[in-house]
């Protein structure tokens, strides 16, 4: 019984230490259990913004992270040559899964 309890404590300790690994992305506020935040990043003096491009990256448990969330990738996605402004979104659930999306507006 003592071995079983020790094993349970070790497993739970590992889970607690891993919790939140995928939760750390750029955000004005964060939520430990759930986070879904939109915020501004930059603005320019270009006068119009009729096109939109997105780029994103994702993380699982903070162990695997994939994607290209660069401004260049978002501009290419939207066919944008002149940036008007940039926003971003972050989303995470229990530190298990996290996503960062960059949204570029421009011409």
pLDDT number for residue 101? 95
pLDDT number for residue 23? 46
Domain boundaries, the chain: 2-106
pLDDT by residue (tens digit) across 4-16? 666 677 766 655 5
> What's the N-to-C CA distance of the chain in angstroms?
67
The residue whose two tokens read 């944008």 is: 80
- Gap between the Cα atoms of 39 and 48, Å rounded: 20
pLDDT number for residue 47? 81
Could you say which residues of the chain have pLDDT below 50? Answer: 20-21, 23-24
Determine contact, residues 102/88, Cβ cutoff 8 Å.
Answer: yes
């Amino acid at each position: 019984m003592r071995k079983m309890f020790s094993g349970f404590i070790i497993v739970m300790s590992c889970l607690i230490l891993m919790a939140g690994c995928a939760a750390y992305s750029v955000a004005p506020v964060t939520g430990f259990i759930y986070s879904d935040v939109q915020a501004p990043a930059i603005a320019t003096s270009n006068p119009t913004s009729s096109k939109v491009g997105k780029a994103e990256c994702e993380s699982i448990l903070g162990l695997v992270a994939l994607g290209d969330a660069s401004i260049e990738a978002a501009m290419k996605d939207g066919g944008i040559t002149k940036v008007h402004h940039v926003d971003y979104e972050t989303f995470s659930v229990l530190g298990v899964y996290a996503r960062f999306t960059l949204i570029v507006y421009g011409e």
